[in-house]
Amino acid sequence: MSVRGLTRLTKRFACPPAYTTRRGAMYCADSLQHLRLMPADSVDLVLTSPPFALVKKKAYGNRDAERYVPWFMDFAVEVRRVLKDTGSFVIDLGGSWLPGVPVRSTYQYELLIELTRPGRFHLAQDYFWYSPSRLPAPAEWVTVRKVRVKDAVNTIWWLSKTPFPKAGNERVSLEYSEAMRRLLKNGCKAGKRPSGHDISTGFRKDRGGAIPSNLLVISHTSSNDHYLRRCRTTETPIHPARFPADIPLYFINMLTDVNDVVVDIFAGSNVTGWVAEHARRRWLALETDRTYVEGSAFRFESDCPPPDNEFIGSRKEVTLRRLRVKSTPRRLPTGRTRNEAGAARLPKERGAA
């Protein structure tokens, strides 16, 4: 069974999909092999959370830190080829510790350097996912010897094929804080501040929400959702490293339009495809472990509720603000289209500096 709009991407695939939905298809297949079969310039967003380079081996498989970069770069070459010029590559990648010592590995930063060498990707922006509910780890250094603090942040690299991928932060605004609501109600005095910032009268305009920062605060505390319940009742293995729906919800809405193509090359329990389906994007997911593929189908059952964001954005004390996902009929700009003259001047200004 083919999915409308995905036939061009998958027509060279030798195997049929494990299942299809109205907008997407899940394949139990090697993602590197199948990326090579996909046409160039055909994908709007590749969003994935690959296996991390952890000291402790996981059931889903993970590479050693010293071999991680060359292993991942094979995938990166093909991702860049299949991306459109306006497309993005988003990677959620947790850190790692060196074996036997309380010292951090730098593998994710080494990977970033390789990914952004000339002729590869541009670093559109670095993000950091902070999970307040993360358990203390690694136990040896945090809870036993007490010489380190718990590791509660993942890096997320937003990469692009060109300097101007399409994007719009209006799509992922945050609820205003109480302080901002008071400012909108009472007003503020325009003018230059001691910091040098020039506050204009436009600062007092209610734009429906606040611009988010690159710190994503997501607790990720779900322990009894539809996917987990169905896995338990059918004795299907639960994927141990699911990322929260908030992450694909944020980037899919910020970086793609309705009917754009979203691909996850390390799909696991297919959170990306599930979110893309409800966001009205076409999607393609690839995962090698058949048991995880089978379990991921539970997300698309008729009685499975749609994904809902927890909390995301800046954190003040213990109050977190909800993400306000906006859907607009206009297509996303690339930066050049928003201010053609200003964007055209950027290279000249940088060269002059």
Residue 44 makes CB contacts below 8 A (sequence gap 6+) with 83, 84, 86, 87, 88, 166, 255, 256, 257, 260, 261, 262
Instruction: Please name the amino acid found at residue 350.
Output: R
The CA distance from 208 to 71, in Å, is: 44
Question: Do 75 and 265 form a contact (C-beta atoms < 8 A)?
Answer: yes
Residues 31, 44, 50, 173: which is the catalytic one? 50
* Beta-strand runs (E) in the chain: 19-20, 24-28, 43-48, 83-93, 122-130, 153-160, 172-174, 191-192, 198-199, 215-217, 261-264, 282-287, 315-316, 319-320, 323-325
Q: Which residues of 239-256 are buried (b: 16+ CB within 10 A; e: fewer)?
A: bebbbbbbbbbbbbbbbb
- State the catalytic residue, choosing from 49, 88, 131, 269: 49
Contact (Cβ atoms closer than 8 angstroms) between residue 326 and residue 69: no
- Give dist(CA 345, CA 342) in Å, integer: 5
Closest CA to 97 of 88, 106, 89: 106
| Separation of alpha carbons 30 and 53, rounded Å | 19
Please name the amino acid found at residue 221.
T
Q: Catalytic annotation on 92?
A: yes
Cis amide prior to 138 (ω within 30 degrees): yes
Active site residue 50: yes
Q: Can 194 be counted among the known catalytic residues?
A: no
At 86, phi and psi to the nearest 5? -95, 5
| Residue of 44, 92, 246, 257 with catalytic role | 92
Strands 43-48 and 83-93: parallel
Catalytic annotation, residues: 49-50, 92
